[in-house]
Amino acid sequence: MAMANFLALFLLMELIAGGYRDGANGLSMNYYVLSCPFAEPIVRNTVASALQSDPTLAAGLVRMHFHDCWIQGCDGSVLLDSTKNNTAEKESPGNLSVRGFDLIDDVKGQLENQCPGVVSCADIVAMAATEAVASSGGPVYDIPKGRKDGRRSKIEDTFSAPAPSFNASELVRAFRQRGFSARDMVALSGAHTLGVARCSSFKNRLGDPTMDSDFSKTLSKTCSGGDNAEQPFDMTRNNFDNSYFQALQRKSGLLFSDQTLYSDPRTKSIADGYAMNQATFFLDFTQAMVKMSLLDVKEGSKGEVRSDCRRIN
């Protein structure tokens, strides 16, 4: 009995220590286990409740995480508002599809009441994305926590983000520069299984003879409503599944940067594999998302924990 108690105590201490033991970039899965033990349940429950009311919010939250991490690393910079002397990232045309800023504010307010100055906005964004994926029927996965919030957010920094007009070679090169393989890139592109794009992002594809004829007619009809008219990426816009890749097989990729994945032999076989095996897609997606969540994280004096996600301290 004494040995059992000792082992239980030892495992508990290991768990607690794991919250402070340095992992990749100083992060750990149990980072808030003592300092804010209800952090993850608060994020999870608040996001899940919001998605029950508005399932379309999932796509915005996943994109928020990606757009945050790609620019200056995962540091909550996408949340900062513009000021008199600075136009922030969120004003970029490429961030028009990012949604959920009010939800992040709600979560942050709850966490500040529970444990002031502890949980970063960058971590909230990262955790919200994981819950958005899981709540939409996608894989359940965890990410390390402990990111600090950045102090820089400039619209010009967003110009380096991959564009909807990129071909496969440009996508492979852009992602490789950030440490991702071609397989990672295709898996992350699968996040387009959620949400919509505006006509302004795909009108250059109208009349493309390589596109499925019925899909071409659908896009033309959508764009008759103007540049802001929206079209889902696939037939299950609120479900996280492999329908996106099946659409590529039917020559019905919405953006040029989507369909190009099926035009290049380096990426076509990967897309085919995901279209045939959703479990493989889910596994590769989670691994790529964890990798993305570790991009250029801020530590120590290089960052802060904002009290208001829209403003630096």
Residue given tokens 């440009």 in the structure block: 170
Catalytic residue among 30, 43, 66, 67: 67
Read off the tokens for 136. 């939409």
Query: In which element (H, E) is residue 232 found?
Result: strand 230-232
What is the model's pLDDT at position 232? 93
234 marked ligand binding residue: yes
Residue given tokens 């508990």 in the structure block: 12
Find all residues with CB under 8 Å of 9, minimum gap 6, and list them: none
Cα dist. 87→71, 170, 302 in Å?
Answer: 15, 27, 21
What is the model's pLDDT at position 23? 53
Tell me the pTM.
0.90
Active-site annotation holds for 67:
yes
Q: What is the pLDDT along the chain (313 residues), one digit of tens a residue?
A: 454 444 444 444 444 444 434 455 689 999 999 999 999 999 999 999 999 999 999 999 999 999 999 999 999 999 999 999 999 999 998 887 789 999 999 999 999 999 999 999 999 999 999 999 999 999 999 999 999 999 999 999 998 889 999 999 999 999 999 999 999 999 999 999 999 999 999 998 998 899 999 999 999 999 999 999 999 999 998 999 999 999 999 999 999 999 999 999 999 999 999 999 999 999 999 999 999 999 999 988 899 999 999 999 9
73 marked ligand binding residue: yes
- What are 212-263's pLDDT values in tens digits? 999 999 999 999 999 999 999 999 989 999 999 999 999 999 999 999 999 9
192 marked ligand binding residue: yes
Question: In whole angstroms, what separates CA 227 from the centre of its chain?
Answer: 24
Helices (H), ranges, the chain: 2-18, 39-53, 57-70, 101-114, 121-135, 168-176, 182-189, 199-202, 213-223, 243-249, 256-259, 265-276, 278-292
75 marked ligand binding residue: yes
Read off the tokens for 105. 């504010």
284 marked ligand binding residue: no
Answer left, alpha or beta for residue 145, where phi above 0 means left and psi between -120 and 50 means alpha. beta
